[in-house]
Structure 1
Amino acid sequence: MNTPYAPGAVSRRSFLKVAAAAGGGLMVGFWPGQGMAAAAASAPAELNAFIAISPDDRIVLTMPKVEMGQGTYTSVPMLIAEELEVDMNQIEVRHAPPDAKLYGAPFGDQFTGGSLTIRLLYEPMRQTGAAARMVLVQAAAYAWKVAPDSCRAERGEVVHAASGRRVKYGQLVAAAAKLPAPEKIALKQPKDFKLVGQPAKRLDAKGKTDGSAMFGIDAQVKGMKVAVVAASPVIGGKLKSVNDAKARKLRGVRQIVKLDNAVAVVADNYWYAKQGLAALDIKWDEGQYAKLGTDDVRKLMVAALQKPGHIARNDGDALKALAADSQRVEALYVNPMLAHATMEPMNCTVHVKGDGTAEIWTGSQVPARARDDAAKVLGLAPEKVTLHNHYIGGGFGRRLYTDYVVQAAAVAKQIKSPVKLVWSREEDIQHCLLRGMYAHSVSASLGKDGKPLAFSHKIAGPSNLAAFAPGWLKDGLDIDNVEGSDVFSYDIPNMRSEYTQEDGPVPTAFWRGVGPTRNMTVLESFMDELALKVGQDPLAYRLSLLDKQPRAAQVLKVAAERAGWGTPLPPRSGRGIALMRSWGTYLAQVVDVAVSDDGEVTVKRVVCAVDCGQVVNPDTVAAQIQSGINFGLTAGLFGVITLKDGRVEQSNFHDYPILRLNQAPQIDVVLVPSSEAPGGIGEPGTAGVGAALTNAVFAATGVRVRELPLRAELLKKA
């Protein structure tokens, strides 16, 4: 998700502070929102303490972001280790506690998402490591009575080359903690990097392969019970009544908990709880959406395109130019509703204690929100609630929301023992906060040379930002919903991008790739439509419009060359290309498909050229692109949530399938060298693949798909 804040918003060096840690160690970090004068008067306990170095040479990094598979727990330590001059294996990573004040800068909200981690932390973490290095060198120089510039840091030691003396960091931390933070921080030049830009093994890999890594669902508490839940199957429905006589007689069932819109069964283990839930006779008040269907939502979004919206971009006068052109090209695209389908289903363990405190174990992208929202349900002050955040088995934006934590707290409030609430896969799919449905109206006026003279893109759909962070709206405009469209790279003299908010009845959430995954699928597919309408090659057509965007042009050229653009393919095979620019990243993807006579699509190969600025860990970048592509292909090939009688019709992987190993294509990732500031990488792969897929399918079949997922009946051989 994009934000109105610049990526460097937390990199002001005046925030940096050095302080003494417990046990005579050294802490280095930032006081968010305070200058150096204010920070100097603050107690060390208020320091967010990005790193702490102890006398025994242990280096602990307090990670302000959450690890959910994106490699944060490796790439961020690389930034510290690079500037601190230590080996990666010397750094121990711990989860930051819930504290939006200390770990939420610059937003005041402690969250992980929006492909922001490296963009926000690249300079602050390097400055933290460099400041620690500088005060350690200075402490050694004072002790040796030599000039600091005659000393250097090396593999966790300070070395004085002239005399051959060397001392470990741990022996210096007590003296270094008494020194002020450097006024000027000397960061390395990229040419001097030893770690950044080089492949690094994931620090969390061992724990995740030997089973020692702790995810939220792994939490175990003495005396813990397990709860499963059935929420209203109809959107907005409420609980009317429940007959639990049969369930209470079953082995292991301990308690039935009634909530406003759900029923939970608490038992000795998950299986007993499931059996108890199946034995309940539940009556629901289905409410006003008992007849709601997918077509109703679609009509609502398409109709919203006729309403005035907020303007994100208005170069020239596109509407005037389009109105004057009777030959303008127009199309309607619709993005379907999608579930997140995280591999680790929603879960949360809560222990409400008798002393007026509570403990929570979960995995959340917003740990401070999760704690605070649970505290409200429990009637406790936030400081009375301790939340232990763990690794996340798939976030994708779903765990930016706290509904499952709130529900667990509501259940735990009614029982005396600790309880782990686990959603079944069916509950997860049918009560997911969905990627909403969006309608797009696109139109273009073409000049005699076939190039666009005017281009209009209007989007209608839910505003996740208005609910999640209304303060981030820009003059009422949801910047997430226009992202990608607002910086559409092509040289078009009259360009307009507009968004109309239409929330509708379906609960929605951010979904991996957020605004660009919707917008780029539409815009890059429509660019193919324009190229083919004027009889031009889609690659050449794009390049002719990118004279002012060299980074965009470069990734297109690299991807096309690697993919063999223009080489012949077998019958009913096709090759499609698409460009994506967002999160400070440029990438181009080429997708090769084969379509059977029955209309089944097989993705053979995907080539992705990426310019994400300065790369920290190339292995992580490649892995994120690969996973993003497979996530996007899952949606393009299969992904759709449909409604009937107010209910989600899909329930598990048999009818909401994900891309399986034997269906996954060969993926070639090419990293384009760049000295630009780091861009985001967690979401661009997903955002870029949709249009390349539909363009490839058109090349193979001549069928233009404007509403995913692909449907075999439309692609059958005539």
Structure 2
Amino acid sequence: MSTTNDSHAFETSRRGFMAGSGAALVVGFTLPSMGGRALAATDTAFTPNAWLRITPDNRVTVVCGSSEMGQGVLTAIPQLMAEELDADWATVGVEQAPVSQAFNNPAFGMQATGGSTTVRGHWDVMRNAGATARAMLVAAAAEQWKVPAGECRTEAGHVMHGSKKLSYGQLAEAASKQKAPEKVALKDPKDFKILGQRKARLDTAGKTNGSAKFGIDVNLPGMLVAVMARAPLPGVKVAKVDDTAAKAVKGVKQVITLPTGVAVLATGYWAAKKGRDALKVDWDFGDKAGLDSAKVTAMLTDGASKADAVALKAGDAGITPAKLVEATYEAPYLAHACMEPMNCTAWVKPDGVEIWAGTQSQGPVQGILSQVASVDPGKVKVNTMLLGGGFGRRFAPDFVIDATLLSKISGAPVKLVYTREDDMAAGFYRPASVAKFTGGLDAQGNAVLLKAGVGSPSIMAASGFMKIPESGVDSFAMEGINDHPYSVPNQLIAYGRREPGPNVWFWRSVGHSQNSFFMEGFIDEMAYAAGKDPFEFRRALMDKQPRYRQVLEVAAEKAGWGKPLPAGVFRGIAVVQSFGSYVAEVAEVSINADGTPKVHRVVAAVDCGMTVNPTIIERQVEGAIVYGLSAALYGRISLKDGRVEQGNFHDYPVLRHNEMPKVEVHIVKSTEKPGGIGEPGTPPVAPAVANAIFAATGKRLRSLPFDTSQLKKA
């Protein structure tokens, strides 16, 4: 049964709702950034240019503009719509949207997926679209029955009045002729029946039976497959190419030099790969010659020492406290290491361009490729495929640009595949970073001073669609430090931009991934310097941060903080807010005889606002912990002589099954709007484990990945 509350009313006037004609009810929501442009109505049931479609066979189809990379958007977005629609979940399906401003992510103002924004950005939009459709269905039924609409009710895909009952499918055609209401009432959360429930993912069956299609699965008639030898670093140019041996490989059709490297095009992948391996390419490294990790660290340390772009200032940072605590933290470049290799299939035709790619940025890609192919954006069709991992890497447009250029030059459809080795050695990375901290305690052990300088490259500058503000502070380089929850009266936190050379990009949890390790490690150091329990020290500094404090307390309680553990096992704790969600994690760790840490259990408390799907939340936090733990234990991209040294999982390992700790996820109930969930579980795990290692050994690990040689000595 549908219930409403006027306090949840949502204005729909000037928002561009429309009713489609014909046999299907089609409802689209025009985002504010579109300036009121409405979606085009159609007279068929299969037009995807709308958020919602209901057909006479009673099928409810939600069209999702976000990319699915395992985070569950193809289920969460339909749940938002279905709740306000009062749909029967068994009849709900989902389709991937085409590229259109109508499907822009409200959080970005463009059609793209990242920053854990999909549910946050669509929370009101999709619910409003569902409520509007429900109102139109009710109006159609009331008109047919000649009763007041206010006397009708909805439940499980039906409109009812007394003993009368009509399915949404039966009402679809009549509802499509109704005028969209100017104002609809959204449900009170206490009346939710679909939101907050453990609904099975809508994409599971296809991924299980093989019918789901990823970018790597695309095959076209006459298609060539391309593999590239890519420039090792930005600015490195092709000096000379000997392609004689490559062209001698059976199946190789062309060798093409692009600004980003040299591509071998062949009739199949293995021929292209053999041809690429046979290439002899001389590179002009220019000023990147001789770049190595030691030089990178020196540059970033200089940036941290001389940081002058002020991100946060409070009180008097020049005070002399009773006790000083100083430390320098360091994190390396990191690869995304997606399980599905980077790929795109492009076909440049006389009348336009069509691509098939697992991309996180289909909206921007359409505009970029229109320039690459010199066609109108409307003649660029982007087919968004499922993504075999994204983590920010597939937000970059490099692979779709290269594929389109190769198709344009060759005159054939081209599937470009970056081998894992080529992508890892010449791709995009989480920025390396160095942070220098100074903390101060008074005579009673209270935190009275916090100073930090961060040296790091700028993702904002690298993005191509953002600019560093006049303050000089890249918010991505500083998040996790300048927005910490601790009430310290005197603070000075600043940024020192340095650009060693490698491409930097968004990586799962972005700046929080390294800065939370820095910040939560240093807060732990201050707690021990004050002679206080790390949990109690943090909690005392959170008097103005109730959501931080609650997850901290829940994680500590569920983990049994302060209670005895088996011999040799120790606890560490960390708490981070990122992407609108609050996560505290407690790690239980022991040290093996060879000095390597063994993580036995991670207990996470999560406040991500109102719950859409508890199972998705749990799985995302579990996956985020795996990702963060892999980086903490193993993740490192190092450079020598201007080249990245890593190439695949043998020298860039990730967590193995036998290393996986037990993970407990406790969802904290909240009445706040949803936060993100794809990334917030990653940042706390590295500091929680590092803090547990200190509790076990007395050795403070201040760089990633963990240097276990120190632990063996301990």
Same fold (TM over 0.5): yes
Matched, 1:433 2:431: no
SS for the counterpart of 2:347 is strand
CA distance in 1, matches of 2:121, 2:11: 12
Partner of 2:68: 67
Matched, 1:399 2:394: yes
| Residue 475 to residue 176, structure 1, CA distance change in 2 (3 Å) | farther
Deviation string 1:327-371 (CA, Å, 9 cap, x unpaired) is: 321211111110000001110001122x33221111100002222
Deviation at 1:48, TM superposition (A): 5.7
- Pick one of 381, 385, 388 that aligns with 2:380: 385
Partner of 2:6: none
CA distance in 2, matches of 1:65, 1:582: 20
Aligned residue type for 1:575: R
Matched, 1:31 2:26: no
CA distance in 1, matches of 2:429, 2:595: 28
| Residue 469 to residue 51, structure 1, CA distance change in 2 (3 Å) | farther
SS for the counterpart of 1:498 is strand
CA distance in 1, matches of 2:470, 2:673: 28
CA distance in 2, matches of 1:331, 1:264: 46
The answer (yes or no) to whether the contact 1:101–1:108 under 8 Å persists in 2 is no
Deviation string 1:511-550 (CA, Å, 9 cap, x unpaired) is: 0011212221111111110111121111111122223322
Partner of 2:502: 506
Matched, 1:482 2:444: no
- Pick one of 411, 417, 421 that aligns with 1:416: 411
Deviation at 1:316, TM superposition (A): 2.2
Moved more, 293-302 or 499-508: 499-508
Aligned residue type for 1:93: V
SS for the counterpart of 2:295 is helix
The answer (yes or no) to whether the contact 1:97–1:387 under 8 Å persists in 2 is yes
Query: Structure 1 vs Structure 2: percent identity of aligned residues?
Result: 44
Deviation string 1:555-611 (CA, Å, 9 cap, x unpaired) is: 122211221222334555321001111222111101111112321111111000111
CA distance in 2, matches of 1:419, 1:243: 23
Aligned positions of 1:553-702 closer than 5 A: 553-570=549-566, 572-702=568-698
Partner of 1:226: 225
Aligned residue type for 1:395: G
SS for the counterpart of 1:640 is coil
Partner of 2:143: 142
CA distance in 2, matches of 1:100, 1:111: 11
The answer (yes or no) to whether the contact 2:591–2:696 under 8 Å persists in 1 is yes
CA distance in 1, matches of 2:335, 2:247: 33
The answer (yes or no) to whether the contact 1:598–1:717 under 8 Å persists in 2 is no
SS for the counterpart of 1:275 is helix
Deviation at 1:384, TM superposition (A): 1.8
Partner of 2:236: 237
| Residue 146 to residue 39, structure 1, CA distance change in 2 (3 Å) | farther
| Residue 59 to residue 431, structure 1, CA distance change in 2 (3 Å) | same
TM-score normalised per structure 2: 0.94
Deviation at 1:374, TM superposition (A): 2.4
The answer (yes or no) to whether the contact 2:321–2:449 under 8 Å persists in 1 is no
Moved more, 617-626 or 452-461: 452-461
Aligned positions of 1:40-51 closer than 5 A: 44=41, 49-51=50-52
Deviation at 1:472, TM superposition (A): 6.6
SS for the counterpart of 2:330 is strand
Partner of 1:709: 705
CA distance in 2, matches of 1:505, 1:357: 35
The answer (yes or no) to whether the contact 1:584–1:679 under 8 Å persists in 2 is yes
Partner of 1:217: 216
TM-score normalised per structure 1: 0.93
Matched, 1:454 2:449: yes
| Residue 197 to residue 374, structure 1, CA distance change in 2 (3 Å) | same
Aligned residue type for 2:312: R
The answer (yes or no) to whether the contact 1:337–1:640 under 8 Å persists in 2 is yes
Partner of 1:3: none
Partner of 2:192: 193
RMSD (CA atoms): 2.1
Aligned residue type for 1:459: V
CA distance in 1, matches of 2:308, 2:483: 18
Aligned residue type for 1:85: D
Partner of 1:153: 154
SS for the counterpart of 1:118 is helix
Deviation at 1:444, TM superposition (A): 1.5
Deviation string 1:50-89 (CA, Å, 9 cap, x unpaired) is: 1122333332222121111001111111111111111223
Partner of 2:521: 525
Deviation at 1:234, TM superposition (A): 4.9
The answer (yes or no) to whether the contact 1:86–1:154 under 8 Å persists in 2 is yes
SS for the counterpart of 1:685 is coil
Deviation at 1:426, TM superposition (A): 0.6
Deviation at 1:183, TM superposition (A): 2.8
CA distance in 2, matches of 1:457, 1:412: 49
The answer (yes or no) to whether the contact 2:21–2:173 under 8 Å persists in 1 is no
Deviation at 1:452, TM superposition (A): 0.7
SS for the counterpart of 2:548 is helix
The answer (yes or no) to whether the contact 1:337–1:641 under 8 Å persists in 2 is yes
SS for the counterpart of 1:69 is coil
CA distance in 2, matches of 1:29, 1:675: 28
Partner of 2:7: none
Deviation at 1:614, TM superposition (A): 0.5
Deviation string 1:441-492 (CA, Å, 9 cap, x unpaired) is: 2222112221211212332212212332654755443222222323311222
Deviation string 1:252-311 (CA, Å, 9 cap, x unpaired) is: 111111223411111111111111122222222222212000111111111112335333
Matched, 1:128 2:129: yes
Partner of 2:275: 276
Partner of 1:445: 440
Structure 1: gaps (5+ residues) = 1-10
Structure 2: gaps (5+ residues) = 1-9
CA distance in 1, matches of 2:612, 2:603: 21
The answer (yes or no) to whether the contact 1:578–1:589 under 8 Å persists in 2 is yes
The answer (yes or no) to whether the contact 1:28–1:50 under 8 Å persists in 2 is yes
SS for the counterpart of 2:511 is helix
Aligned residue type for 1:264: A
| Residue 342 to residue 175, structure 1, CA distance change in 2 (3 Å) | same
SS for the counterpart of 2:185 is coil
CA distance in 2, matches of 1:235, 1:185: 52
| Residue 550 to residue 159, structure 1, CA distance change in 2 (3 Å) | same
Partner of 1:320: 318
CA distance in 2, matches of 1:420, 1:332: 45
CA distance in 2, matches of 1:524, 1:535: 17
The answer (yes or no) to whether the contact 1:350–1:419 under 8 Å persists in 2 is yes
The answer (yes or no) to whether the contact 1:341–1:429 under 8 Å persists in 2 is yes
CA distance in 2, matches of 1:127, 1:19: 13
Aligned residue type for 1:416: G
Partner of 1:8: none
Matched, 1:358 2:353: yes
Deviation at 1:35, TM superposition (A): 9.2
Partner of 1:169: 168
CA distance in 2, matches of 1:475, 1:99: 33
The answer (yes or no) to whether the contact 1:301–1:502 under 8 Å persists in 2 is yes
Deviation at 1:145, TM superposition (A): 1.4
CA distance in 1, matches of 2:49, 2:206: 26
| Residue 101 to residue 320, structure 1, CA distance change in 2 (3 Å) | farther
The answer (yes or no) to whether the contact 1:20–1:174 under 8 Å persists in 2 is no
SS for the counterpart of 2:424 is helix
Deviation at 1:438, TM superposition (A): 1.1
How many residue pairs align between the two structures? 700
Aligned positions of 1:84-99 closer than 5 A: 84-99=85-100
